Chain A
Amino acid sequence: MEGLFAGLQTGLSGLEASQAALDVVGQNVANVSTPGYHRQRAELAAAPPMPDVSESAQVGTGVNVTGIQRAVDHFLTNQSLTQSSNVGYWQTTTNAMSQVQAAFQEPSSSGLQAAMDQFWQAWSNLSNQPQDAGVRQEVLAQAQSLIGTFQSVSSQLTAAQSNLDNQVVAQVASVNDLATQIASLNAQIENAQVVGETPNDLIDQRGVLLTKLAAITSIRVQPLESGGDMVYIGGVPLVSDRTTHALTTVPSAQNPTLHTVQFASVSGPVDISGGSMGAELTLRDQTIAGLLTQLNTLADQLATAVNNQHAVGYGTDGTTTGLPFFILPSSPQQAASQLQVNPTLIANPQDIAAAAHPNSPGGGNNALAISQINSTAIASLGGTLDSYYRGMIGTLGVDAQTAQNMNQQAQLMNTTVQNQIQSISGVSLNTQGVKLVMFQHAYDASATVIQTINSMLSTLVNRL
């Protein structure tokens, strides 16, 4: 039989365990809405009995708090990172695509389709009234307006491209910042675990940072025995336990005004697939770059076709021939932004080759032929200029619509995963309330035990 003092120790362990459990309840209640917080619970276990050879019956020595556990499902945690990347990717894509669509302003009376229609109409009018100076001015004005529309679409696409590039550069800085914080948390978590602590709140903090990182780019997280995490981007470690390998941006080889993302210590671009940065790179290098290529091809083919036809016609003086209508830039891939009307024609509108024959100041058959380019298939475009442009806009529409649908789906999936996480790791105030009552009463009871032993001791000391 143990002494009465041992009973006091048992009562004390009960008080301490209840207090620890109440502390955990308090922590849970305080973090009921904290993002990334995982519900904790105090793990209690009965303390082993004192070895006593004289008695066959053993009485324990109270209760021990063996640890404070996080309620976590690692599968859902990984799902959450994937969904975070998806949401980041599609949200960024949706926003950028609506900006790109706005650049084209279709369908409307101010888009490229309308500008092309008006340009061909001006030529058709010129074929009716080739000797009318006003109609010649109108051809020049519509050509300028067409060039202006090409330039406006092209410059808005280029601006969208460089906006995305700026965002990429800014996000590389965010990634490095997050990586540094994660590495530092890895160190703190490991240090705590070495001395037997359970750094739950640090792990939660790291989880929040990983989610933020995943929203920027797809990552793979590999937990280490030590409690640290390895974080990989495109198969290369960004965070390697306590150290980081920073990302950096270098001017792109294809287009020096844009930036390629790579690891400072590894040459060659890094494969950034998901997240908002993945979306920015895809939009910048594929979607918008592709649209710009198509736009330039369209402008180049249109101007070339008009020039070829214009060169075989004659001006009002009956002899001027062989002039190009447009001046094309040396590179066809700058046609949309740098196309110009031949300044000779602006200065001398009478040299616009409306006539198909020499000495035909009243002839408009060449102007008619130019207006018919509109309905002529161009081999390298696989159709007419119009059908090529319609195809461009159709594809853009499909891409933008897909992005909108995928964005909605990603948001929905993310909400589902977040709710699953809540159902496992969230704090229920009802449950915490019950625990509050339970541990409060346990505390009271342990105190009563101590009080009882105290009165037993006073009986023993004073009455004997």
Chain B
Amino acid sequence: MEIVNANMLTNNLIQNLSVDQARMSRFENEISSGQSINQPSDNPAGVQQELRLQKLLAQNQQYQTNAQNAAGFLQETGSALSTLIDILNKADQLAVEGANGTMNASDRQNLATQVGALFQQAVQTGNTRFGSTYVFGGTQDVLPPYILEPTGTIQDNSNGLALNREVGPGIVLAVNTQGSPLLNNPTPSATSPPGVFQVLQQLQNDLAQNNTAALASDLTAVQGALERVTVASTKSGSTLDEVNQQLTRLTNQSALLQQLDTQTAGADTAKVIADFENVANSYRQALAAGAQIIQPSLMQFLK
């Protein structure tokens, strides 16, 4: 193609300057935002990956929140169950003492009072709350699950429903320990042993009434309840372990996801700055050349 005039050079100059400017603006945007993807067209595949990571990070954060809540709940449950274990251990000692033949009726009355205090403490422990949730009440939390009526009977407001926490994708754990029949079982049978409350009440009654004949079976009942509470405590403890392990995994995953996020959408500052310098250089050179485009023509020399 024959170059006949400055119009052609000007066309080329304008075209090249606008391409350089567009690239500089893109690099400048990357540097100032610190992101290599500022709109979907910057990297259509990358933006999908970025949105997926954004969602996974948000989910991960939520799973961590859920797991922390679950851990708190389980810790509260664990401490309530170990309080019950302490109570039953003390009741066990008192039952052994009461069974001692050297004791008289008033001594046993004294022991009965102590067991009565333990029973009161057990009912209180049965109403332990995490936040505003009763840990043994199931999904019912308007009333305390166990209300001791003046007649000595227990009003049971708990239900047997699970409190679930999602601590990972599809990992749903029931975090609550069912209070009934572990703590309260007013109608025991061969297959369904009495609850902690009934065991303590029975012991208290037998001691108060100096019913020495029954104390041996009361002792067995206390030990049976102790075993069941210990099992429940172990079970709850292993759920807590699981939640804690899950928390560690979530924290690690979160770090990994953040790293991926940086790789996908973060700007490689050193590279972008180098690229920017390159384009800026070619832009300056194009401008310098542009200033020389209008060369003198023959017209200037015609006199």
Binding site for B on A (CB under 8 A): 29, 32-33, 97-98, 101-102, 104, 106-107, 113-114, 116-118, 120-121, 124-125, 127-129, 131-132, 355, 357, 359-365, 368, 371-372, 374-375, 386, 389-391, 393-401, 403-404, 408, 411-412, 415, 418-420, 422-423, 426-434, 436-437
Looking at the complex, which one of B11, B265, B302 makes contact with A415 (CB distance below 8 Å)? B11
Q: Are the C-beta atoms of A32 and B165 separated by less than 8 Å?
A: no
Interfacial chain A residues near B149, Cβ < 8 Å: none
Q: Shortest distance in angstroms between B244's beta carbon and chain A's nearest beta carbon?
A: 17
- 7 A-B pairs, CB-CB below 8 angstroms? A33-B7, A104-B40, A107-B47, A124-B66, A362-B141, A395-B44, A420-B1
With contact pairs A362-B137, A393-B40, A422-B8 given, residues A121 and B58 touching in the complex (Cβ less than 8 Å): yes
* A412 to B297 alpha-carbon distance, docked (Å): 28
Q: Are the C-beta atoms of B131 and A106 separated by less than 8 Å?
A: no
Q: Are the C-beta atoms of A127 and B12 separated by less than 8 Å?
A: no
* A174 to B44 alpha-carbon distance, docked (Å): 36
* A114 to B58 alpha-carbon distance, docked (Å): 8
* A225 to B255 alpha-carbon distance, docked (Å): 76
* A33 to B293 alpha-carbon distance, docked (Å): 14
Nearest B residue to A112 by beta-carbon distance? B51
Interface assignment of B148: CB less than 8 Å from any CB of chain A? no
With contact pairs A389-B51, A397-B47, A427-B5 given, residues A360 and B40 touching in the complex (Cβ less than 8 Å): no
With contact pairs A102-B39, A128-B65, A429-B299 given, residues A412 and B15 touching in the complex (Cβ less than 8 Å): yes
Nearest B residue to A396 by beta-carbon distance? B40
Interface assignment of B121: CB less than 8 Å from any CB of chain A? no
Render B99-139 as a binary contact track against A, CB cut-off 8 A, 1 for contact: 00000000000000000000000000000000111100111
Q: Are the C-beta atoms of B40 and A101 separated by less than 8 Å?
A: yes
Q: Shortest distance in angstroms between B64's beta carbon and chain A's nearest beta carbon?
A: 11
* A412 to B166 alpha-carbon distance, docked (Å): 56
Render B1-42 as a binary contact track against A, CB cut-off 8 A, 1 for contact: 111110110011011001100100000000000010101111
Q: Shortest distance in angstroms between A246's beta carbon and chain B's nearest beta carbon?
A: 34
Q: Are the C-beta atoms of B40 and A400 separated by less than 8 Å?
A: yes
Interfacial chain A residues near B65, Cβ < 8 Å: 121, 124-125, 128
Q: Shortest distance in angstroms between A415's beta carbon and chain B's nearest beta carbon?
A: 4
Nearest A residue to B162 by beta-carbon distance? A365
The list of the 4 closest CB pairs from A to B, nearest first, reads A397-B40, A397-B44, A363-B139, A433-B298
Q: Are the C-beta atoms of A390 and B137 separated by less than 8 Å?
A: no
Interface assignment of B45: CB less than 8 Å from any CB of chain A? yes
Q: Are the C-beta atoms of B5 and A124 separated by less than 8 Å?
A: no
Q: Are the C-beta atoms of B55 and A117 separated by less than 8 Å?
A: yes
* A408 to B41 alpha-carbon distance, docked (Å): 14
* A379 to B114 alpha-carbon distance, docked (Å): 64
Binding site for A on B (CB under 8 A): 1-5, 7-8, 11-12, 14-15, 18-19, 22, 35, 37, 39-45, 47-48, 50-52, 54-55, 58-59, 61-62, 65-66, 69, 131-134, 137-142, 159, 161-166, 169-170, 172, 265, 297-299, 302
Nearest A residue to B37 by beta-carbon distance? A107
With contact pairs A394-B47, A422-B4 given, residues A107 and B265 touching in the complex (Cβ less than 8 Å): yes
* A223 to B39 alpha-carbon distance, docked (Å): 46
Looking at the complex, which one of A106, A118, A420, A430 makes contact with B47 (CB distance below 8 Å)? A106
Looking at the complex, which one of A104, A362, A429 makes contact with B298 (CB distance below 8 Å)? A429
Q: Shortest distance in angstroms between B274's beta carbon and chain A's nearest beta carbon?
A: 22
Q: Are the C-beta atoms of B40 and A120 separated by less than 8 Å?
A: no
Interfacial chain A residues near B164, Cβ < 8 Å: 127, 364-365, 368
Q: Are the C-beta atoms of B7 and A422 separated by less than 8 Å?
A: yes
Interfacial chain B residues near A372, Cβ < 8 Å: 166
Q: Shortest distance in angstroms between A318's beta carbon and chain B's nearest beta carbon?
A: 8
With contact pairs A360-B159, A368-B166 given, residues A429 and B5 touching in the complex (Cβ less than 8 Å): yes
* A107 to B37 alpha-carbon distance, docked (Å): 7
Q: Are the C-beta atoms of A423 and B140 separated by less than 8 Å?
A: no
Looking at the complex, which one of A118, A368, A390, A391 makes contact with B58 (CB distance below 8 Å)? A118
Q: Are the C-beta atoms of B55 and A386 separated by less than 8 Å?
A: yes
Q: Are the C-beta atoms of B298 and A101 separated by less than 8 Å?
A: no
* A131 to B242 alpha-carbon distance, docked (Å): 26
With contact pairs A113-B55, A117-B58, A429-B297 given, residues A419 and B12 touching in the complex (Cβ less than 8 Å): yes
Q: Are the C-beta atoms of B44 and A401 separated by less than 8 Å?
A: yes
Interfacial chain B residues near A374, Cβ < 8 Å: 55, 59
Q: Kindly list 10 other residue pairs between chains A and B, CB separation below 8 angstroms, not including A359-B159, A427-B5, A431-B4.
A: A104-B40, A113-B55, A127-B166, A131-B133, A131-B141, A390-B51, A394-B44, A396-B44, A401-B44, A415-B14
Q: Are the C-beta atoms of B44 and A121 separated by less than 8 Å?
A: no
Q: Shortest distance in angstroms between B29's beta carbon and chain A's nearest beta carbon?
A: 12
Interfacial chain A residues near B140, Cβ < 8 Å: 359-362
* A401 to B61 alpha-carbon distance, docked (Å): 33
Q: Shortest distance in angstroms between A208's beta carbon and chain B's nearest beta carbon?
A: 15
* A118 to B61 alpha-carbon distance, docked (Å): 11
